[in-house]
Amino acid sequence: MYLSLQNRLVKHVRAFLKQKYNVDLTNIVVEQPPKIELGEFALPVCFELARSLRKAPRKIADEIVVEMSLPEGFAKFEVAGAGYINARLDRSSAAALIARDLPNGEAGPTPTRGKVLVEHTSINPNKAAHIGHLRNSILGDTLVRLLRAAGYAVDVQNYIDNTGVQVADVVVGFEKIAKKSRAEIAELIAGSEGRFDYYCWDLYAQVSQWYGQDKANLEARRDTLHALEVGGNETAETAQLISMAVLRRHLETMQRLDIEYDFLPQESDILHLHFWAKAFELLKQAGVLYYEKEGKNKGCWVMTRPGRAKDDDAPEGPDEDAKVIVRSNGTVGYVGKDIAYHMWKFGLLGLDFGYRKFYEYSDGRPVWISCDPKDGEAEHPHFGGVDAIYNVIDARQSDPQETVKQAILLMGHESEAARYTHFSYEMVALTPRCAMELGYEVSEEDQQKNYIEVSGRKGFGVKADDLLDKLIEAAKSEVDARHGELTEDERREISTQIAIGALRYFMLKFTKQSVIAFDFREALSFEGETGPYVQYAVVRASNIFRKAEVAPEDVLKIDALKTVLAADAFAGNDDIWSLWLAAGQTAKVVEQCIATTEPAALTKHAFQLAQQFNNFYHKHHILTEEDPGRKALLLATAAIVRRELIATMAVLGIPTPAVM
């Protein structure tokens, strides 16, 4: 509602300024006044006009306010401060609009804005997921929900690097350290009570140490990596057994947080289906890659770096700063594979995967995985060839991401490159205190730091499932204390919902570029600016309707509202009206989050709305209100806030418990 009225206002003012002063402002700034008493919108436009019109801002504002007509839905223009024009809404009619807003629920509107692809999670399938991976998946999943709420069709992909050095390492671990046959590994997968990824976590850390013991041990890594890339051998089959088992664990872990995927492209298929060979030809044809004959990169196929201007510096000799795509021994680096994969994403490669089902969610929806087309199912959805892509990948990979984007741009695909978004975010690290609490040895030097980077290689970090378990237990002890009347299962379900709310909110409340220094005390908090705080506000609202024995939906029906929203309903009720106004901004905030690729703004919205509601809840006792008209207004207010909170939480992936 807020957004559409704002657009209407801007259009109206722009037309007026053109007609009156013959100035055409393309970007008219609209703000919200610091206090609701000053109106709903503030226009600082007169400050800008002061210069060209050679008049004091306040004078211009006076003229405009007197002469400009009111757009539909607006009640008044006023001059304020040193020259602001403040606009007041006709509150009752605006409230009716808010009530009619379609909630941005889980299902979202039917897609009308094209198809986009979001890649997130993409954890190396060789160990358990940790808190850093959780940030990726939660950010990615929330981006998916934002896009769907805004009317995009979204495919969710989780890239599986099953032929990389990390998988090779854990394979080496099974062969050289654990000394397990493939049959024994299969047994372990079946018998490890759903925590095979934990076993790999420890083993992977041991392998890193083992490499350190003797440099000759690194040969095992090299040989294994080569075997995985070639495929069709014993080692590769063992690796696939391991990586698919770990992948299943990752899917299960993420499912606990209500995070789901559509498609799992495997690196092994990119190799075996010769995506790179095709891409290499196209890149050579387009002149994006060139063969370096001199300097340190002699014998390699290289690409000019994005920042590098071709004619400026480096007048003579080879560009030593160029990015090596194909090594002098003829093998391709991972950036090359990534270029091929991204050409496929945009439908620019002319090749496709085969598809088969890999996993099934509780509602029966399948997750598809790539395969050789001859092994694939005949009937499958179409992935790839989308309008825009978002890659949720941490900030340390900015450089290779830029390279891939640059390759697509240099091939002449300008619009694709423009719709290639590296959704970059900072890592999750542990505070030194947290690391020591977990029993890790922390050096003197590290103790002085604000945070210490987690490392799967060292086995240093907090596992995702452990954190979730811990959160559920913490929530459970609260729920047990408060709701003895519920069954064990009911209490566990609510505790899980609270844990998910706390975790998702925690990961989303920081802006992307902020490093999260993880600390259990903060993450386990259910008070203040947290997910449970927002959930609690909804529970409070729900309790009112339960005791009043009315459905919140019925209160918001047009007929019911007609009498409630009488012309003077909000007169003298600034606090109540500001709650309506805040509730009407969900769609605006969703759009803002997409435009800035920053979901944190939505957590802010949820928190502020919940906070305002708690304030309202405390101040107005609804059920004991004796004036029926007043009571109806208060009920409608609770209903509208409850609806918008639930919708906002759905976009954040936060469930709404029945009781708390």
Helix-strand-coil split of the chain, %, nearest 5: 55, 10, 35
CB-wise, 141 or 394, nearer to RNA?
394
Q: Closest approach of Cβ 653 to RNA, in Å?
A: 18
Nearest CA to 241 out of 253, 228, 257 is that of 228
Minimum CB separation from RNA for residue 334, in Å? 4
Q: Which of 11, 10, 5, 3 is nearest to 91 (CA)?
A: 5
27 binds RNA (CB under 7 A): yes
Q: What is the DSSP letter of 102?
A: P
CA 234 to chain centre: 39
End-to-end CA distance of the chain: 31
**Whole-angstrom distance, CA of residue 82 vs CA of residue 272:** 69
- The reply to whether 217 sits near RNA by the rule CB under 7 A is no
User: Least distance to RNA from the beta carbon of 136, Å?
Assistant: 14
With CB under 7 A as the contact rule, the residue among 126, 297, 370, 578 that binds RNA is 297
CB 171 within 8 A of CB 220: no
331-370 footprint of RNA as x/- string (CB under 7 A): x-xx------------------------------------
Q: Which of residues 163-182 bind RNA (CB under 7 A)?
A: 164-166
Alpha-helix runs per DSSP H in 173-322 = 182-191, 196-213, 218-230, 234-256, 267-272, 275-285
Least distance (Å) from RNA to the CB of residue 215? 15
Among the candidate windows 8-16, 30-38, 149-157, 465-473, which touches RNA by CB under 7 A?
30-38
* E strands in 10-94: 41-43, 74-80, 84-89
Look at the chain and count its residues: 660
Q: From the list 232, 624, 627, 628, which residue makes contact with RNA (rule: CB under 7 A)?
A: 624
- Does residue 104 contact residue 651 with C-beta atoms inside 8 Å? yes
Among 390, 526, 570, 580, binds RNA (CB under 7 A): 526
Nearer to RNA, 154 or 479 (CB): 479
443 binds RNA per the rule CB under 7 A: no
> Least distance from C-beta 113 to RNA, angstroms?
21
CB of 640 to RNA, least distance (A): 15
Segment interacting with RNA (CB under 7 A) among 65-73, 256-264, 365-373, 529-537: 529-537
- List 462, 622, 641, 650, residue binding RNA (CB under 7 A): 622
Using CB under 7 A as the binding rule, whether residue 324 contacts RNA is answered as: yes
Q: Which is nearer to RNA, 72 or 527 (CB)?
A: 527
Judged by CB under 7 A, which stretch of 23-31, 113-121, 210-218, 270-278 contacts RNA?
23-31
Stretch that binds RNA, among 68-76, 358-366, 383-391, 538-546 (CB under 7 A): 538-546
Contacts of residues 192-197 at CB distance under 8 Å and 24 or more positions apart, as own/partner, are 194/249, 194/252, 195/128, 195/249, 195/465, 196/245, 196/246, 196/249, 197/127, 197/128, 197/129, 197/245, 197/246, 197/249, 197/250, 197/253
Q: Helix, strand or coil for residue 531? A: helix
Q: How far is CA 164 from CA 126, 279, 444, 472, 492, in A?
A: 10, 20, 34, 34, 39
- The footprint of RNA on residues 80-109 (CB under 7 A) is 80-82, 84, 86
Closest to RNA by CB, 92 or 124: 124
Interaction of residue 463 with RNA, rule CB under 7 A: no
> What one-character-per-residue DSSP string does 351-399 give?
---EEEEEEE-TTS-EEEEEE-GGGS-SS----S--SEEEEEEEGGGHH
Question: Where in 395-424 is the site for RNA (CB under 7 A)?
Answer: 395-400
Residue 73 as a binder of RNA (CB under 7 A): the answer is: no
Q: How many positions of this chain bind RNA (CB under 7 A)?
A: 99
Q: What angle do CA 601, 605, 607 make, to 5 degrees?
A: 115
Contact flag: residue 391 with RNA (CB under 7 A): no
Beta bridge partners of 391: 119, 422
Q: Which residues contact 228 (CB under 8 A, 6 or more apart)?
A: 162, 163, 164, 167, 168, 171, 235, 236, 239, 268
Q: What's the closest the beta carbon of residue 549 comes to RNA, in angstroms?
A: 12
> 131-149 and 464-482 helices cross at what angle (nearest 10)?
70
Q: Does 617 bind RNA (CB under 7 A)?
A: yes
Q: How far is the CB of 469 from RNA (least distance, A)?
A: 16
Residue closer to RNA (CB basis): 460 or 607: 607
The rounded distance, in Å, linking the Cα atoms of 450 and 516 is 10
- Compose the 504-523 pattern: x for residues touching RNA by CB under 7 A, - for all others: -----xxx-xxxxx----x-
Among 145, 148, 323, 504, binds RNA (CB under 7 A): 323
Per-residue binder mask for RNA (CB under 7 A), 465-494, x = binder: ----------x--xx--xx----------x
Of 176 and 327, CB closest to RNA: 327
